Amino acid sequence: MDTQQLQAFVTVSRLGSFSRAAEQLFLTQPAISKRIDKLEQQLNVRLFDRIGRHVNLTDAGLVLLPKAHNILDILEDTSREINNLAGQVAGQLRIATSHHISLHRLPPHLRAYQQSYPQVKLDIQFAESEVIHQGLLEGLWEIGIITLNPHPHERLEQQVIWQDAMHFVGAPHHPLAQAKNVSLEDLSNYPALLSKPGTFTRELLSQRFDEANIDLQVATSTNNLDTLRMLVSTGMGWSLLPHSLLNGELKSIATDTSTIVRNLGCVWHQQRSLSNAAQQFIAHLHEH
């Protein structure tokens, strides 16, 4: 049994697909299948049930999964601690970040970091902040740069890097955009275009309306903020968007409620040893 076989196993388990696991690990699908086959032969059990395109863990696979995670975590932590002793900033740094942050916040920082530490190989994955939050608990990435959870998990460490002032916005011709001193009740009378329920951004807005005991009238939900911006510009409804997305196609709605602020920043597991590369990356974000 080797680490490559275990990595293939946990990746297929997480994604539920051999082809998607191959894509994430930059391998061919036959190579992934070969690693799983060898692992099954060594353990003399079947780890996955393959029915059509669906892949599910067997009972044996369910037993192996947490132990495989532990083995890989211990090996990775040990490697990081040994490399840290040398004081070098090198090796692979596995980062996960949201699409919005990767487009509107990270590019200049990534360029500067790579210029300062060319020996670091960045492995960047993109997902929703909520997915990354859970993935960090499972040890999938070393650090996440995401919209921070208003109620962070006790095993995760969070550091605020940026603060997004959120604006109620509408198309310039929308009645709310033309009104003055709009209340939450006024907003509830018009369709809203919002992030999906369960997202950290939606939670901040829902909390504000719940405190006022006012129901939201949600017309469309999507987690892509750039898509929301486009839909708002057509006049389909109002939304709550960060300042970085405001442009000439949108107009801030003058509300009588205090500004909603969401925190963006770094998250990592408290029980994982951060590599020198990760420590320097977090320090770079703070300094710049």
Output the domain CATH number for residue 250. 3.40.190.290
pLDDT at 287: 86
Domain annotation covers residue 48: yes
Range of the domain at 32: 1-85
pLDDT tens track for 37-81? 999 999 999 999 987 778 899 999 999 998 998 888 888 778 777
pLDDT tens track for 12-24? 998 889 998 998 8
Domain boundary among 50, 85, 120: 85
Q: Would you say 272 and 77 are in contact if contact means Cβ atoms under 8 Å apart?
A: yes
Domain boundary among 51, 85, 119: 85
Q: Residue 46 sits in a domain of what CATH number?
A: 1.10.10.10
Domain annotation covers residue 81: yes
Cβ partners under 8 Å of residue 54, min gap 6: 16
Domain annotation covers residue 75: yes
Domain annotation covers residue 216: yes
Report the alpha-carbon distance of residue 271 to residue 1 in Å, rounded.
Answer: 25
Domain annotation covers residue 153: no
Report the alpha-carbon distance of residue 169 to residue 232 in Å, rounded.
Answer: 8
Residue 86 binned pLDDT confidence (cut-offs 50, 70, 90): low
Report the alpha-carbon distance of residue 77 to residue 133 in Å, rounded.
Answer: 19
* Residue with more model confidence, 79 or 172: 172
Q: Would you say 95 and 132 are in contact if contact means Cβ atoms under 8 Å apart?
A: no
Q: Which residue has the tokens 């604006």?
A: 167
What is the count of structural domains for the chain? 2
pLDDT tens track for 101-151? 999 999 999 999 999 999 999 999 999 999 999 989 888 889 999 999 998
Domain annotation covers residue 145: no
Domain boundary among 57, 85, 113: 85
Is residue 87 scored above 80 in pLDDT?
no
Residue 1 binned pLDDT confidence (cut-offs 50, 70, 90): low
